[in-house]
Structure 1
Amino acid sequence: MPPDIFISFAHVDDQPVANQQQGWITHFTNHLRNELNRRMGRKDNYHFWKDFRLQGNDAVTPEIEQQVTQANTLVILFSTGWMASPWCQRELELFQSSHPDLSKRIFVVELERVAMADKPVIMQDLLNYPFWRVTDKDRVRQLGFPVPQATDTDYFERLVDLSYDISATLKTLQTSTAQPAEPPKATVYVAPVDYPLYSQRSNLISELKQFGIAALPAANTPDPHIDANLAQCSHFVQLLDANYTMGIPCNQHFTAEVAKKPILQWRDPKLDYTGGHVPEEHRKLLEGKTVIAAPLSDFIRMVRDVVLPKPKLPEDDAPKVNGEKMVFVHASQDDFERAYQVAQALKARGYGIALPRYQGEPERIRKSIERGYLSCDVMLVLHQKAPADVVEDYLSEARVKTLQRETKLLILICQGDGAEELYFIPPGVLPLICHNNFDEHCLEQFLAEVEA
């Protein structure tokens, strides 16, 4: 039976260390088998081939040639030792020559960091999985070396990613007579990242995939085809940290701007980039108006809501003037100027608007706020400069008024980066992932919520 998976590795990488009975690669392949058994249903559902007898100076035998040319997928355990082995590279050549369609058939497991210029050209576009990390002193350490432990979270996260992608490819190949796969609902460009953001990028792509959103490029390596890939995508998505990485993130962003793609960027809200180690160009990128400082789960939800096309209603059921919704844009006097600008943007989109009046007698002010609570379908609270207790009072009053109404008042809140933390947030209040400006990007989030 031809193998579904052929493992290509250098014998030198499987030498036992520190009195261990088995080397790292043997442990790795055992773990990979276990994960694949779980994903494929049972071990009999696929055939796994690895030559444990192959020594460092052994040639590729006719048996190995037959196995690698007939295999459905090739897993390369990539290292300096692999590159130094002419037999390993021969296995790659044999697989290439016998498989005219290499799409998602080759998986590169990186055991160490290797400069892009030193890799075979074909590996620039392949699915790759870095099984290494960088220490604070810029030292590279192989994950799970010499023997993986249960606490090696990064090791097992990479292993799960690899097993998921291999099993998906095998299932597709095994069901070639079945109905063709359903095309994705949308495709986005998720910019390749440096090692520290690898897990976040993998999580983002995995979550989007569950909602029918495909991601390009498949490989997390510098993309030589960024222009062609961007042309196939509706949005540009970028994850950022404080690493300048030779200006690559800035270049990616510039390319997306030139291509006129809507841009969605993320950074950790706790990220410290104030030190002198961050170049000015990269600092400006981190502070851009399309950068969302929020938990990654919130950012993923926002990407999903923005990217997925909204279902079209029958013409008779199509909402008129945005459903004829009234929006109460509520803010304190400190934030009123911004609230007025937001209200004008919503009015231009066809919404009815209400604002608190802060001129005149207290009774006049109170009346305008009461009117907003009682007459509007949506309350959008802006919170940038106002003290937290003032905004908490607004939310408390809104909750009371909601309980008195026959129809529910939808409450959304848009907080700036420097806003004071709120300690009172009623259930059902929806946060918008905003920067300091309620720009077109934030407006799209608002529309996604109120027009759903």
Structure 2
Amino acid sequence: MDYCLKGSDEVTPEIEKQLSDAYALVIFLSSGWLASEWCRRELAIFTKNLKQPKGRVFVIELDRINRDEKPIILQELRAYRFWRETDEKKVRQLGYPVPQTTDSSYYDRLADLSNELASVIKYKNSTAEKAPLKATVYVAPVNDALYEHRERLISELRQFSIDVLPRNNELDGNMDVALAQCSHFVQLLDASWTMGVPFRQYEVALKSGKPVMQWRDAQLEYAADKLREEHKALLQGKTVIAAPMSDFIRQVRAMVLPEPKSGDEESAQRRSLEPMIFVHACQDDFNHAYHVAKRLKEKGYGYLLPRYSGDAERIRKSITRGYELCDVMLMVQQCGPAEVVEDFLSDARVHILKRDKKPPILFCQCREAEELYFVPPGMSILVCDGQFDENCVDKFLREIDA
């Protein structure tokens, strides 16, 4: 920064030399920056002999800037968005005029930026090479409501040397080209139709043959009549995982970088160590739970079921045994009343909290089932159409393997 330079002065030889010698450039991108010939010349000088701006140029967006407004060299770079859109569709700069301690969005983005800058400084002039990338996945651009989720996903994947395309959150006509460089297609969904863009992204991914992983909030209300049918179908798809974002990120990582397998001996050992599943249900749903348990047995899993024959003590003992011995509890609800299911979940939580190793609770709920008003923290919900084989078994196995 040159404190002696006047507003009307030309770029001095000293600044030109500093820019040419600098290892990284941080740009505060705004409409003012775009209108400044000075700023554009600084970028041109810095990138004159630069083959690849990635990891050398850092863009901090202070305002909404369309992709085609940016200099070409900045269009493919991931921008650190320090602004948000209000409910009135107005743009507000984060941290303006003074950052507040409660502004988590501001500090989350600041942490991401500072971590990447620190990495650049750490490896500057070093002969040590960074760990090679292990994989690249396509994370579809999203609307503003999902922007934070996409940023979090990208940040955590990169910690495991998984690169992401496109690097910015802007749509362009090169989805096929970028997708061809990736091993998987990942998409975040909400109830917004967004001019049909999510559905078209999904269709392109299907045609490419890439494995698809999609996420939506487990509490998302998507059955409303106001939703378009194609978008409603997208939200109900077999590859959609309704779970906390942290669980979804873990599943993406496990799918993209699966644990290596080493022959029949390891496979046999793995089968012998498959978890014991307590397939729990109220009496109205027992037949459905029995079918699910038999399907899991075919996959090599052990199972427990509640006994609904005999006296009340026998039934209670079978349920308590499930709570105490299972490695995973799978609660199913097809037509059973919500208040009975809630009582079971409450009892399960009491027993599980007493255990040293606390088993996860998965919940397979049919779409037409009565809504629960008691949902334990961390419970993953698998929404299906009553056909566990067709709708939930793959999601369930991903949860177990993760």
Q: 1:424 to 1:121 in 2, by over 3 A?
A: closer
Q: CA deviation at 1:271?
A: 4.2
Q: TM-score, normalised by structure 1?
A: 0.71
Amino acid at match of 2:234: L
Alignment of 1:23-422 (within 5 A): 50-54=1-5, 56-175=7-126, 177-178=127-128, 180-271=129-220, 279-313=228-262, 315-319=264-268, 322-323=271-272, 327=277, 329-336=279-286, 338-339=288-289, 342-343=292-293, 345-351=295-301, 362=310, 370=318, 380-391=330-341, 412-416=361-365, 420-421=371-372
Whole-angstrom distance in 1 between the partners of 2:133 and 2:99? 36
Q: 1:99 to 1:141 in 2, by over 3 A?
A: same
Question: Deviation per CA, 1:76-131, whole angstroms, max 9, x where unpaired?
Answer: 21122222222222222222222123222112211211222322233221120122
Whole-angstrom distance in 2 between the partners of 1:400 and 1:144? 43
Amino acid at match of 1:87: W
Q: 1:94 to 1:424 in 2, by over 3 A?
A: closer
Whole-angstrom distance in 1 between the partners of 2:266 and 2:326? 22
Q: CA deviation at 1:288?
A: 3.0
Q: 1:243 to 1:107 in 2, by over 3 A?
A: farther
Q: 1:189 to 1:424 in 2, by over 3 A?
A: closer
Question: Deviation per CA, 1:199-235, whole angstroms, max 9, x where unpaired?
Answer: 2222222233344444333322225443333334333
Q: 1:73 to 1:248 in 2, by over 3 A?
A: farther
Total equivalences in the alignment: 394
Q: CA deviation at 1:277?
A: 6.8
Q: 1:348 to 1:129 in 2, by over 3 A?
A: same
Q: CA deviation at 1:313?
A: 4.8
Q: TM-score, normalised by structure 2?
A: 0.78
Max radius of gyration: which structure? 1
Question: Deviation per CA, 1:341-398, whole angstroms, max 9, x where unpaired?
Answer: 534543443446676788xx657xx78x949958987653323432345446666888
C-alpha root-mean-square deviation of aligned residues, in Å? Answer: 4.2
Look up the match of 2:384.
436
Structure 1: any 5+ residue segments left out of the alignment? 1-49, 403-407
Q: 1:101 to 1:122 in 2, by over 3 A?
A: closer
Give secondary structure in 2 for the equivalent of 1:144: coil
Q: 1:393 to 1:182 in 2, by over 3 A?
A: same
Whole-angstrom distance in 2 between the partners of 1:158 and 1:380? 37
Q: 1:65 to 1:279 in 2, by over 3 A?
A: farther
Q: 1:276 to 1:419 in 2, by over 3 A?
A: closer
Task: Choose 78-87 or 237-246, whichever is displaced more.
Answer: 237-246
Task: Choose 69-78 or 382-391, whichever is displaced more.
Answer: 382-391
8 Å contact from structure 1 (residues 432, 442) kept in 2: no
Amino acid at match of 1:434: L
Give secondary structure in 1 for the equivalent of 2:382: coil
Q: CA deviation at 1:309?
A: 0.7
Whole-angstrom distance in 1 between the partners of 2:235 and 2:147? 18
8 Å contact from structure 1 (residues 328, 373) kept in 2: no
Q: 1:434 to 1:84 in 2, by over 3 A?
A: same
Amino acid at match of 1:288: G
Amino acid at match of 2:383: H
Give secondary structure in 1 for the equivalent of 2:206: helix
Structure 2: any 5+ residue segments left out of the alignment? none
Amino acid at match of 2:384: N
Q: 1:224 to 1:443 in 2, by over 3 A?
A: same
Whole-angstrom distance in 2 between the partners of 1:441 and 1:56? 64
Question: Deviation per CA, 1:43-87, whole angstroms, max 9, x where unpaired?
Answer: xxxxxxx33455554432222222222221122211222222222
Percent of aligned pairs sharing the same letter: 49
8 Å contact from structure 1 (residues 306, 444) kept in 2: no
Whole-angstrom distance in 1 between the partners of 2:223 and 2:398? 34
8 Å contact from structure 2 (residues 243, 380) kept in 1: no
